[in-house]
Amino acid sequence: MFYALAVLLLANLASAQVFQIEIANTTVEYGSTDISISCVVTNGSTLGTVFAISLKKSDASVVSITTSPNEGISWQDTSLQNRNGVTANGSLSDVSKAHLHLYIPSSSVVYPDDEGTYQCTMSGLDLMNTPVTENSESVFLNITGYIDTTKGCELSRGSILLMFLTILGCTVMQRS
């Protein structure tokens, strides 16, 4: 009987949500809303160690934090890293508070580069020293209010042909 209860307890602990993604605003107004994304351990009581947390956008790695060789932030998206005001920070030292946070100020948001599906991954060991890898849910970040100011300057093939025929017509009329 005790064995059956222990198995049920372990099964419940294993199925409990341990890790999640938090996005302050899933709809961002271009030029006025910051992007703030956190990957956080929500139930550290089932974990013995967290040795890595990473953030991906549309399956491409963005930034991560690892414990080896010493705890630190590692950027995979260097173009994002080099934008003005963009920061990433986090900590793995306390399993129950392990997290990774990405901040992009509204002035550095780039459309469509920052729009997409974000997901976090956590790797560590459970209390029995069994390797654990958990993915958060995927969350789509939508950017609205972007106005492409270069679209009005584009010429279609039809407008170029019309301009050419107009110039040709004026030239022919001047010669007559």
Contact predicate 92/67, CB 8 Å: yes
* Tokens describing residue 99: 């997290």
Contacts of residues 65-73 at CB distance under 8 Å and 24 or more positions apart, as own/partner, are 65/90, 65/91, 65/92, 65/100, 66/92, 67/92
Confidence band, pLDDT 50/70/90 cuts, at residue 156: low
Helix (H, G, I), strand (E, B) or coil at 87: strand
- Percentage helix, strand, coil, to 5, in the chain? 30, 40, 30
Please check whether the domain covering 2-175 is classified as CATH 2.60.40.3080.
Answer: no
* Tokens describing residue 83: 């934008």
Provide mean pLDDT across the span 44-57: 96
Q: Would you state the pLDDT for residue 150?
A: 72
Q: 């508070």: which residue's tokens?
A: 97
Per-residue pLDDT tens for 61-109?
Answer: 999 999 977 769 999 999 999 999 999 999 999 999 999 999 999 999 9
Indicate the helix (H) or strand (E) that contains 175: helix 157-175
* Tokens describing residue 9: 């307890």
CA distance 65 to 120: 11
pLDDT at 173 over 90: no
Residue 53: other Cβ atoms inside 10 A: 27
Q: Which residue ranges make up each domain of the chain?
A: 2-175
Q: Read off the amino acid at residue 119.
A: Q
Per-residue pLDDT tens for 117-129?
Answer: 999 999 999 999 9
